[in-house]
Structure 1
């Protein structure tokens, strides 16, 4: 299945790393539709895409809570920026709390990105990066929020809510109010998604036991099934190479 799928990832400069997880490109250059699935990864994406049958468009995607399956149609090309959660408030200036796992179509001139800006991929990354830096010039980031998200991402969601609260000097009640306002889930649920995502490289390598501070095997299996619909063993098989994230993970 993956022969005609191309995927490429570029990671951001250090000065954007608090807000951007990565930039990526996914292309189906064949004349055949592809069944693909994506797994929750804790990111919020803006995707610019076009195909032989659909015009160029830009969409803001919701935070995935569960596995999503789609038909990636023939001759479709998608270019995206994947944001960390701090970007929802400070870069996108919005809330995804009530988005309902549906894409929101953005204006045709969003961030002045045109179809001609997508190729080569590096040109897209450069232009998007410049747009984000321009937005950040006018923003003052609250220190406790930056500290909180530094801790969340550096620990891959493994720290307890209490520890995150104590170390960021921000009450757990206020943190959860913030998460529900901008994201629509609790801090604890988000950390579970990150722990699931960080376990994928081990699952792909056949390590089917908890490696990311899950309390025990039962909790590990429960989290994997919740977010993928499969057991770790079933996910490891990745039948028909359907999971896009597995295409960029190290091979066994």
Structure 2
């Protein structure tokens, strides 16, 4: 599998985490585990579709998808060759750019074609034009098309009322508490909860928990930290608390997780 990550134009930093591509001619079914990383995605599969298992059953996906926030892991499996172009969005961007209420999309991967949304339809048409012209693997073309599209779209974007709490969560690697988040925005905790429900889909406490979990991968990447030091630096009370949290997001014990394996989860979690 070829994984490619593309950095968007700096003007889009508030809205877009990255663009990414995935490509493979291998038709052998391979199961991939997808792990929460705190971002949402719009995905276009221009070759064979995937199937996913979220609630114990495998279901075929549609070619064009919108993925909301995840609370735990799920599985993907290819049904043939792979060709994907996708946008990984910042936490509140789907609400800011498209007016979506994100509590409706938690733990869901939905058919993008089911949205009667002009801007999303235009995005799909631009991606399909790239694929139909055989330019689906040209990073510079994909970057330009997506940068141009989102540069225009951000002019009508909603202001993010939880920008400061989100920055606090990310800058503290998920170790900020709810009182600190509310204070950073100058609002009460109840109002913070309501805004997080709309713009993120998750409570501020749970979202911070995901970001703290993500930080584990950065600490392990340095290869300089012992497990005891990682537990401490990631802000866990003790090793058992650390293990329970890790297993809730991955389904695995950290000592048995393959951090160096080349797969979808590690591609995104290792920044």
Correspondence 1:28-43 to 2 at 5 A? 28-43=24-39
Per the alignment, residue 103 of structure 1 pairs with: 109
Correspondence 1:48-127 to 2 at 5 A? 48-52=44-48, 57-99=63-105, 101-107=107-113, 109-111=121-123, 112-117=125-130, 118-127=136-145
Counterpart of 2:16 (choices 3, 20, 30) is 20
Per the alignment, residue 266 of structure 2 pairs with: 246
Q: Aligned partners of 2:145 and 2:96: how far apart in 1?
A: 18
Structure 1 unaligned runs (5+)? none
TM-score normalised by the chain length of structure 1 = 0.84
Number of equivalenced pairs: 243
Q: Aligned partners of 1:138 and 1:193: how far apart in 2?
A: 29
Q: Aligned partners of 1:66 and 1:125: how far apart in 2?
A: 30
Structure 2 unaligned runs (5+)? 51-60, 114-119, 131-135
Q: Aligned partners of 1:53 and 1:153: how far apart in 2?
A: 33
Shift of 1:248: 6.2
Q: Aligned partners of 1:83 and 1:244: how far apart in 2?
A: 16
Change (3 A) 1:182 1:86: closer
Counterpart of 1:45 (choices 19, 41, 46) is 41
Q: Aligned partners of 2:76 and 2:21: how far apart in 1?
A: 16
Instruction: Point out the more displaced range, 35-44 or 56-65.
Output: 56-65
3-state SS of paired residue (1:70): strand
Residue 7 (str. 1) matches residue 25 (str. 2): no
TM-score normalised by the chain length of structure 2 = 0.79
Conserved? CA contact 1:36–1:69, under 8 Å: yes
Conserved? CA contact 1:157–1:191, under 8 Å: yes
Change (3 A) 1:237 1:18: closer
Conserved? CA contact 1:45–1:81, under 8 Å: yes
Deviation per residue, 1:139-169 (Å, 9 max, x gap)? 3525x52222222222222211111211221
Shift of 1:115: 2.7
Q: Aligned partners of 1:145 and 1:181: how far apart in 2?
A: 10
Change (3 A) 1:56 1:162: closer
Shift of 1:183: 3.3
Correspondence 1:216-227 to 2 at 5 A? 216-227=238-249
Q: Aligned partners of 1:92 and 1:131: how far apart in 2?
A: 13
Per the alignment, residue 254 of structure 2 pairs with: 232
Residue 176 (str. 1) matches residue 198 (str. 2): no
